[in-house]
């Protein structure tokens, strides 16, 4: 079957990227179970045959779409972490700046948040290994970047963190800074005022520092 006249032109890479974009849109809108191969191909501007040639079927397409989207978001978060925590003199100011930008740029990843909401809604019906692969590429990878940064900052005497508790520190930071906003907005579906987000960020960083600041109760 030839590609539709108004569809994607170009080589294999262009068509694969178009399929991933189209699949992200359709899976985010309809979920895994209800998304149709024909609908995804139409959204991408390619034939269903091209979709099968690239991905083999819906399950593998969903896996690749989810992991590609998660990797993009993870890279953005890791860049934030590295920029804010690379050269720190005031740990409180650095953590607040990181947390504010982290939560302030959530809108840039709206299409990915749609996918995540579908995972939550359809989790029991999704292939378990797909969900595990997403966690490794997405949330756990971001938390690992935080953990590495915190362990280094502990070695520099800026946090009461070492190899034994760096994983715990990273988990608490992500939960305290992002957890309540993420849950209460249902991964971006429900609006939250910027002032409220800032207040939660401030509260989260303050509690985190009580636990892990040098000389704090977490030492």
What proportion of the chain, given as a percentage, has pLDDT over 90? 73
Residues 205 and 98 sit within 8 Å (Cβ to Cβ): no
Residues 137 and 67 sit within 8 Å (Cβ to Cβ): yes
Residue 126: predicted pLDDT: 85
Q: How far is residue 150's CA from residue 95's CA, in Å, rounded to a whole number?
A: 10
For the chain, the structural domain boundaries read 1-56, 65-212
pLDDT of 6 strictly over 70: no
Q: How confident is the model at residue 219 (pLDDT cuts 50, 70, 90)?
A: very low
User: CATH class for domain 1-56?
Assistant: mainly alpha
Q: How far is residue 50's CA from residue 23's CA, in Å, rounded to a whole number?
A: 13
Q: List the structure tokens of 115.
A: 């996918």
* Fold of the domain built from segment(s) 65-212: Tetracycline Repressor; domain 2 (1.10.357)
Which stretches of 86-218 are DSSP H helices? 91-104, 110-122, 128-137, 139-155, 166-174, 180-184, 194-212
Looking at 92-96, 100-104, 107-111, 161-165, which range is the least confident one? 107-111
Residue 216: predicted pLDDT: 63
pLDDT of 7 strictly over 80: no
Q: List the structure tokens of 181.
A: 């906003």
pLDDT of 4 strictly over 70: no
Classify the phi-psi angles of 126: left when phi > 0, otherwise alpha if psi is within -120 to 50, otherwise beta: beta
Q: List the structure tokens of 216.
A: 């704090």
Instruction: Tell me the pTM.
Output: 0.87
SS3 76: helix
- Closest among 61, 66, 58 to 138, alpha carbons compared: 66
Q: What is the mean pLDDT of residues 188-213?
A: 92
The larger pLDDT score, comparing residue 136 to residue 7, is at 136
Q: List the structure tokens of 124.
A: 């029991």
Residue 218: predicted pLDDT: 41
Q: How confident is the model at residue 169 (pLDDT cuts 50, 70, 90)?
A: very high
Q: How confident is the model at residue 11 (pLDDT cuts 50, 70, 90)?
A: low
């Amino acid at each position: 079957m030839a590609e539709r006249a108004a569809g994607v032109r170009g080589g294999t890479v262009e068509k694969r990227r178009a399929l991933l974009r189209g699949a992200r849109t359709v899976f985010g809108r309809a979920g895994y179970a209800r998304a149709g191969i024909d609908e995804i191909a139409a959204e991408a501007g390619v034939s269903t045959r091209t979709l099968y040639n690239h991905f083999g079927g819906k399950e593998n397409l969903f896996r690749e779409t989810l992991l590609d989207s998660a990797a993009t978001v993870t890279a953005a978060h890791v860049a934030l972490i590295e920029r804010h925590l690379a050269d720190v003199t005031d740990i409180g100011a650095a953590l607040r700046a990181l947390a504010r930008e982290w939560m302030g740029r959530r809108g840039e990843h709206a299409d990915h948040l749609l996918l995540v909401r579908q995972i939550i809604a359809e989790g029991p019906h999704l292939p378990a290994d797909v969900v595990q692969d997403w966690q490794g590429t997405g949330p756990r990878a971001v938390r690992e970047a935080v953990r590495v940064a915190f362990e280094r900052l502990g070695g520099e005497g800026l946090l009461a963190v070492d190899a034994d508790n760096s994983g715990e520190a990273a988990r608490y930071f992500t939960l305290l800074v992002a957890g309540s906003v993420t849950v209460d907005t249902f991964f971006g579906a429900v609006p939250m005022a910027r002032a409220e987000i800032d207040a939660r960020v401030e509260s989260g960083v303050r509690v985190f520092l009580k636990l892990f600041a040098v000389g704090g109760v977490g030492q």
